[in-house]
C-alpha cells in the first residue's frame, strides 16, 4: 500500500504569522500556542483554522511475544479492557467525553471472540500476532490488511467532518515491539530502549531484555542469510509489530494524506509515528506530539524525530489518554487566532 503525502503548503506562512503577531498581545507571548496555531493553520491552509469533530481510534490487539513472560499483565487483560471501554469505564472514555471526541473502539487482533459485543468494531485480522522470538509477527498480507484497517477508519472519520485525529492502543506486551522499533529505527542500543512496561520488577525487566535481545539477533541472522538489508523499514515493522500498531501507522499516514491534525500519544504511539515518518517523512508535518510519558526511553524516542511534546505528566496508561489531555492546548491555539482582537480592532497602540 502506498500513500500520497505531501509536505504542508507553506505559502500562507508569512500572512498567518503576520495575523498572529498582530493580535493584541506582545509578539511571541503565547509561545507554543502560537506555534500550534501556525502548524494547524498551515495544515488546513487557512487563516482561521478549526478543530471540528475530533475522533479517537482505540485499537486493540494481542502479541505472540506475550507468551514469553515479557509483561506483568496477562493477555486476557486486553479483551477485558476492550469490553470495559464499551461500558464507558476507561480513562479513554472519560477524556473523550470531556473533550468532545467521538470514540471508536476497534478489534484489530484481540485473542478473544468479541463479535457481537456492542460498541466494538470488528476488524480482526487474527487472534493475536505470532511470537517474533521465533518467526515474523505477521505475514505480508496481514501487514497490508492492518494498514488498510487504519485507512478505512480514518476515511470514515473524515466523511463525518473530522479535522483532528488521535490514536490509542490496547495490547498487552506492546511495549516490547515498540522498544525494538525504537532501537532499530533510532540506532540506539536495545537495552536503553526497554522499560518496565506495566510494572515489571528487576527480575522481570532482566528477562524482558534477554528475550528481546534474542529476538533481534534472530531477525538479524535471518536478514543476513537472505542477503537482505537489516533495516528494510516495512519488513522490520511487519516482523515485530502488532496488528493494532500497524493499523495505527495506517491511520496516521492516511490522516496526513487527508490533511488532518494527527495527535500522537505516548511510548507505543510514538514508536508508530516514528515508523510512519521513516516510511513517509512528510507525515511529520501533520503530527502534534502530545506528551512525554514515564516509560523508559520515551524522551529519547521523541528526540529521534526532533519532536517537542506539549505535556510531561508522567502518564503511562496508554489508550491515547495523553493525546486527549493535550487537546485543550490545540483548542486554545485555534481560539487565539480566531477570537482574539488585533491591535486595530482593540484600539491599542502597537508598540513593536
117 pLDDT higher than 80? yes
| Confidence class for position 296, pLDDT limits 50, 70, 90 | low
Is 120 part of any domain? yes
| Residue-range definition of the domain harbouring residue 200 | 55-336
Cα 315 off chain centre by: 14
Is 294 part of any domain? yes
Cβ-defined contacts of 153-156 (< 8 Å, 24+):
153/57, 153/104, 153/106, 153/121, 153/123, 153/247, 153/251, 154/57, 154/250, 154/251, 154/254, 154/255, 154/258, 154/260, 155/254, 155/258
Is 169 part of any domain? yes
Is 65 part of any domain? yes
Span 92-121, average pLDDT: 97
Is 27 part of any domain? no
Q: Which phi-psi region, left, alpha or beta, contains residue 203 (left: φ > 0; alpha: ψ -120 to 50)?
A: alpha
156 within 8 A of 254, measured Cβ to Cβ: no
Distances 99 to 30, 156, 288, 335 between C-alpha atoms, Å? 22, 20, 17, 15
**Residue 76, SS3 per DSSP:** helix
* 252, three cell numbers: 496516521
- What does the chain come to in residues? 352
Question: Which residues participate in catalysis according to the annotation?
Answer: 319
Span 246-266, average pLDDT: 97
Predicted local confidence at residue 347, as pLDDT: 64
In the chain, the number of structural domains is: 1
Is 245 part of any domain? yes
Cα 190 off chain centre by: 21
**Helix ranges restricted to H, the chain:** 13-21, 31-44, 76-86, 91-99, 140-159, 175-186, 202-225, 233-240, 243-257, 267-279, 298-304, 321-339
Summarised one tens digit per residue, pLDDT across range 18-43 is: 999 999 888 888 999 999 999 999 99
Please tell me the distance from the alpha carbon of residue 244 to that of residue 231, in angstroms, as a whole number.
21
Predicted local confidence at residue 343, as pLDDT: 65
Nearest in space to 132 (alpha carbons), one of 228, 194, 67, 198? 67
**Residue 109, SS3 per DSSP:** strand
Is 62 part of any domain? yes
246 within 8 A of 238, measured Cβ to Cβ: yes
Domain with residue 126: its CATH number is: 3.40.50.10210
Is 259 part of any domain? yes
State the chain's mean pLDDT as an integer: 93
Amino acid at each position: 500500500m502506498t500513500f500520497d503525502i505531501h509536505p504542508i503548503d507553506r505559502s500562507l506562512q508569512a500572512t498567518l504569522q503576520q495575523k498572529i503577531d498582530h493580535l493584541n498581545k506582545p509578539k511571541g507571548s503565547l509561545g507554543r500556542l502560537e506555534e500550534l496555531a501556525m502548524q494547524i493553520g498551515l495544515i488546513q491552509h487557512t487563516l482561521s483554522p478549526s478543530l471540528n469533530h475530533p475522533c479517537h481510534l482505540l485499537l486493540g490487539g494481542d502479541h505472540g511475544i506475550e507468551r514469553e513472560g515479557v509483561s506483568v499483565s496477562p493477555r486476557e487483560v486486553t479483551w477485558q479492557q476492550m469490553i470495559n471501554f464499551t461500558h464507558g469505564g476507561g480513562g479513554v472514555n472519560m477524556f473523550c467525553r470531556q473533550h468532545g471526541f467521538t470514540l471508536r473502539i476497534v478489534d484489530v487482533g484481540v485473542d478473544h471472540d468479541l463479535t457481537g459485543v456492542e460498541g466494538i468494531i470488528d476488524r480482526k485480522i487474527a487472534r493475536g500476532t505470532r511470537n517474533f522470538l521465533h518467526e515474523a509477527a505477521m505475514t505480508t498480507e496481514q501487514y497490508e490488511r492492518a494498514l488498510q484497517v487504519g485507512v478505512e477508519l480514518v476515511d470514515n472519520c473524515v466523511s463525518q467532518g473530522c479535522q483532528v485525529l488521535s490514536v490509542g492502543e490496547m495490547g498487552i506486551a506492546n511495549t516490547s515491539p515498540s522498544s525494538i522499533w525504537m532501537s532499530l529505527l533510532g540506532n540506539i542500543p536495545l537495552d536503553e530502549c526497554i522499560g518496565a512496561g506495566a510494572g515489571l520488577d528487576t527480575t522481570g525487566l532482566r528477562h524482558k531484555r534477554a528475550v528481546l535481545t534474542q529476538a533481534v539477533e534472530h531477525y538479524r541472522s535471518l536478514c543476513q542469510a537472505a542477503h537482505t538489508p537489516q533495516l528494510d523499514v516495512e519488513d522490520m515493522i511487519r516482523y515485530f509489530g502488532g496488528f493494532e500498531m500497524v493499523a495505527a501507522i495506517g491511520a496516521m499516514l492516511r490522516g496526513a494524506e487527508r490533511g488532518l491534525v494527527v495527535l500522537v500519544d505516548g511510548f507505543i504511539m510514538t514508536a508508530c509515528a516514528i515508523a510512519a515518518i521513516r516510511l513517509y517523512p512528510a507525515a511529520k508535518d501533520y503530527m502534534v506530539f502530545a506528551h512525554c510519558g514515564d516509560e523508559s526511553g520515551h524522551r529519547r524516542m521523541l528526540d529521534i524525530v526532533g519532536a517537542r511534546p506539549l505535556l510531561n505528566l508522567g502518564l503511562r496508561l496508554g489508550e491515547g489518554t495523553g493525546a486527549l489531555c493535550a487537546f485543550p492546548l490545540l483548542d486554545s491555539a485555534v481560539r487565539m487566532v480566531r477570537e482574539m482582537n488585533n491591535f486595530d480592532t482593540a484600539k491599542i497602540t502597537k508598540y513593536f
